[in-house]
């Protein structure tokens, strides 16, 4: 379990993380989302003791990182997969990491096996594809068999096969009871990977909930109905004070959409009670992307499409490439 209480980090006039409190529970993958410059990396660095909070605290199972006796056996992290020496083999790299952290040699073979790199462990890391480099980075995070794992943008630049591998692997780690916190800008991927979400904007907490709750809260639900008795059904639903709209959908003709917090059961039962034939009855949920845009819209300081420069009085840099920070 990771717990942040009033976590704050200031860099001069910039407030990178602002009184942030959240919990990351074991046995689940938790997505860590926010627009560029929201403070995700800074928060992760504070969890890992790489940055000191200006105020507040963050603990792992009740202990600050710097007070952990053997940190790698408690927390593993993948922050940047590129830092491996290109002339070193994967095995040599992990052996060096294990030795410098006083971990047994057997931890190297176990970690290589977990990420499926055993066969190529003798090859120079410089010859690895991005997907293999990510696996090597994850093997490094797993060396101490930690209960808590942090991954910063693990799927960046990966091909679809690599992305699916990472997703499956994260689920496996969570199923083993570990605490998994992962940041990513690929929202469609996060919708499939993360059961819970911590969403921040300008360093502040915007939402902490399950992914489903976040999407439902932001976008609401719509039920799509196809029926040859469209007007009759619309009349029945209006009598129940439900809001409906009829749209022409290409290839499907006229379709009825029912707005609001209701279930397909309700509509199906009303239709049956009036002898109305249904060809389709589907719950349509908004996407995580729509929900994210709606919930974080105000916290993005510079929209790439605005065509304007950011307000110079604002010191925080947002929505630009990472190198600009």
Ligand X SMILES: Nc1ncnc2c1ncn2[C@@H]1O[C@H](COP(=O)(O)OP(=O)(O)OP(=O)(O)O)[C@@H](O)[C@H]1O
Q: How far apart are CA 91 and CA 243, in angstroms?
A: 62
Query: Residues 304-323 vs ligand X: string with x where CB under 6 A?
Result: ------------xx----x-
Residue with tokens 């990178």: 16
The answer to the question of residue 41 lying near ligand X (CB under 6 A) is yes
Q: Which of 14, 209, 212, 232 binds ligand X (CB under 6 A)?
A: 14
The answer to the question of residue 207 lying near ligand X (CB under 6 A) is no
The answer to the question of residue 33 lying near ligand X (CB under 6 A) is no
The answer to the question of residue 53 lying near ligand X (CB under 6 A) is no
Instruction: Give phi and psi for 182, each to the nearest 5.
Output: -135, 130
Q: Which of 16, 78, 117, 121 binds ligand X (CB under 6 A)?
A: 16
Closest separation in Å from C-beta 54 to ligand X: 12
Torsion 258-260-265-271 (CA) sign: negative
Q: Which of 37, 71, 144, 154 binds ligand X (CB under 6 A)?
A: 37
Q: Which is nearer to ligand X, 8 or 42 (CB)?
A: 42
Contact of 167 with 81, CB cutoff 8 Å: no
Q: Which of 2, 29, 40, 134 binds ligand X (CB under 6 A)?
A: 40
The answer to the question of residue 257 lying near ligand X (CB under 6 A) is no
Walk across the sheet containing 280-285 and list its strands: 243-249, 253-259, 221-226, 280-285
Q: Which of 42, 107, 133, 227 binds ligand X (CB under 6 A)?
A: 42
Q: Which is nearer to ligand X, 243 or 314 (CB)?
A: 314
The answer to the question of residue 11 lying near ligand X (CB under 6 A) is yes
Q: How far apart are CA 288 and CA 218, in angstroms?
A: 9
Q: Is 67 exposed, middle or buried (CB count within 10 Å of its CB: 0-12, 13-18, 19+)?
A: exposed
The answer to the question of residue 38 lying near ligand X (CB under 6 A) is yes
DSSP strand pairing (14-24 vs 196-201): unpaired
Contact of 228 with 63, CB cutoff 8 Å: no
The answer to the question of residue 205 lying near ligand X (CB under 6 A) is no
Q: Which residues of the shown chain bind ligand X in the complex (CB under 6 A)?
A: 11, 14, 16, 34, 36-42, 316-317, 322, 325
């Amino acid at each position: 379990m990771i717990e942040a209480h009033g976590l704050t980090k200031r860099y001069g006039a910039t407030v990178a993380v602002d009184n942030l409190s959240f919990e990351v529970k074991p046995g689940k993958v938790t997505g860590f989302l926010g627009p560029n410059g929201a403070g995700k990396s800074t928060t992760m660095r504070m969890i890992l003791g790489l940055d000191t909070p200006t105020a507040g605290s963050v603990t792992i199972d009740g202990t600050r990182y710097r007070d952990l006796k053997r940190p790698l056996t408690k927390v593993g992290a993948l922050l940047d997969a590129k830092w491996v020496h290109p002339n070193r083999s994967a095995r040599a790299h992990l052996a060096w990491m294990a030795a410098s952290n006083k971990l047994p040699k057997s931890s190297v073979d176990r970690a290589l096996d977990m990420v499926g790199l055993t066969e190529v462990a003798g090859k120079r890391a410089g010859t690895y594809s991005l997907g293999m480099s990510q696996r090597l980075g994850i093997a490094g995070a797993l060396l101490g068999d930690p209960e808590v794992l942090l991954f910063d943008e693990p799927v960046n630049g990966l091909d679809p096969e690599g992305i699916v591998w990472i997703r499956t692997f994260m689920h496996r780690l969570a199923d083993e009871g570990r605490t998994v916190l992962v940041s990513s800008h690929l929202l469609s991927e996060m919708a499939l990977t993360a059961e819970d979400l911590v969403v921040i904007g300008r360093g502040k907490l915007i939402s902490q909930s399950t992914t489903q709750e976040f999407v439902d809260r932001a976008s609401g639900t719509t039920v799509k109905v196809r029926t040859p008795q469209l007007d009759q059904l619309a009349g029945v639903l209006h009598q129940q004070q439900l809001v409906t709209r009829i749209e022409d959908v290409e290839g499907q003709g006229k379709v009825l959409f029912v707005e609001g917090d209701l279930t397909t059961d309700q509509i199906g039962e009303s239709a049956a009670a009036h002898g109305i034939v249904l060809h389709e009855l589907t719950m349509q949920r908004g996407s995580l992307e729509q929900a994210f845009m709606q919930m974080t819209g105000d916290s993005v300081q510079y929209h790439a499409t605005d065509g304007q420069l950011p307000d110079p009085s604002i010191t925080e840099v947002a929505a630009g490439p990472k190198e600009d920070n």
